[in-house]
Amino acid sequence: MASSGFGLREIIKIPSVFNENSTNNTSFTEHAVWCIDWRPSQHWMFQIANVLFFLSYSVPTSYYGILFMHSTLIAGFLILITWAWRIVCAPDLFTWNLCFLFINILQLIYLIYQRRPINFNPELEQIYRSMFKPFKITRIQFKKLVSEQFAQIVTLHIGEAYAMQNITKTDRLGLLMSGKANVLQDHQLLHPIGPCEFLDSPEFESRGSSEDKFKVSVIAATTCRYIFWQRSALEYLFVKETYLATVLATLIAKDITIKLYSMNNKIMTDKGSHLDIRLPSITPALASKECKPPIVKTLKKLAVISSHCPKSPIPAGKCIS
């Protein structure tokens, strides 16, 4: 039976492509085995460049470490470019090292640009230092939060309203930058609002539907400047900035607590004691005989406000929705 395919005899008879050119055959043989004749060391510029590369890759991965790494790489590639152009005269080495040089220069420029000083106007600077800086929010993050893409700054004159009772929807969050505002219900003062305080933190956090409206009015007592965010804009931002969302939720919870306790300090019984708003409900106190008659109305208003606030503080890790 005749065998099909190539046998050992046929393989031996196949002419080698290297036999046609003895030079190519010699070159292949030289590259197929280990080096026998070692060349002398390269130029001193080549050695210095590699020393710089060694140093650049030995630094830690901190900001200044990365800055040092790119600076050292730039110096090393500059030396290699000079070595390739003047010593070995190799255009391919020159071109590749030139590309690496440009990449590291761009990286270095970007790192320096990130550390540029970011300044705000005095009002925003005060808000950043007193509210956001203690939570390690960077200036870049705060700048994004107060940028025109997400926020707007508005001025209110005396008597102008930020929100009207049973009219204005609770679809935004305002933060007072300067001036003073009063919170009123049925034309009676509940509490004032000062700089670096939210104008509508209880309403913003307790919103149940898109049709919810303010149960109080917020009126400017002096010329005020405030910054506000639409709820939809904040939700869009917090998808990308989760830590910023956690910080803002914590600040809102703190602001709500401060407002409730400031109102609680105005309520006293005949014995001179304050009612504790941390109790599950303060409505039974409305019928208590210990309360002075003028205080009952204020207590009722406090019950209305507390009913629109969260039953428990906002968890620190919860994002606003």
Q: What is the pLDDT of residues 125-176, one digit of tens each?
A: 999 999 999 999 989 899 999 999 999 999 999 999 999 998 988 889 999 9
> Which pLDDT does position 189 carry in this prediction?
86
Taking the C-alpha atoms of residue 274 and residue 265, their distance in angstroms, rounded to an integer, is 7
pTM for this one? 0.59
Q: Quick check: 25 pLDDT over 60?
A: no
> Which pLDDT does position 150 carry in this prediction?
92
Instruction: Quote the percentage of the chain above a pLDDT of 90.
Output: 42
Taking the C-alpha atoms of residue 239 and residue 242, their distance in angstroms, rounded to an integer, is 6
Residue 292: pLDDT band with limits 50, 70, 90: very low
Q: Over range 27-55, report the average pLDDT.
A: 78
For 145-154, 239-248, 287-296, which range has the lowest pLDDT when averaged over its residues? 287-296
Which of the listed ranges 33-47, 98-112, 279-293 does the model predict with the highest average pLDDT? 98-112
Q: Are 135 and 247 in contact (CB under 8 A)?
A: yes
> Which pLDDT does position 268 carry in this prediction?
63
* Burial classification of residue 8, based on how many CB atoms lie within 10 Å of its CB (0-12 exposed, 13-18 middle, 19 or more buried): exposed
Task: Specify the amino acid at residue 237.
Answer: L
Q: Quick check: 2 pLDDT over 50?
A: no
> Which pLDDT does position 274 carry in this prediction?
60
Buried b (16+ CB within 10 A) or exposed e, 236-271: ebbeebeebbbbbbbbbbebbbebbeebbeebeeee
- Arithmetic mean of pLDDT over the chain: 78
Residue 15: pLDDT band with limits 50, 70, 90: very low
For 19-28, 66-75, 120-129, which range has the lowest pLDDT when averaged over its residues? 19-28
Taking the C-alpha atoms of residue 143 and residue 31, their distance in angstroms, rounded to an integer, is 60
Which of the listed ranges 117-121, 222-226, 284-288, 299-303 does the model predict with the highest average pLDDT? 222-226
For 203-212, 223-232, 234-243, which range has the lowest pLDDT when averaged over its residues? 203-212
> Which pLDDT does position 37 carry in this prediction?
76
Q: Are 309 and 206 in contact (CB under 8 A)?
A: yes
Task: Return the sign of the alpha-carbon dihedral for residues 240, 242, 243, 248.
Answer: positive
Residue 318: pLDDT band with limits 50, 70, 90: very low
Which residues are 181's β-sheet partners?
A: 193, 220
Instruction: Give the 3-state DSSP-derived string for 66-117, with helices as H, strands as E and coil as C.
Output: HHHHHHHHHHHHHHHHHHHHHHCCCHHHHHHHHHHHHHHHHHHHHHHHHCCC
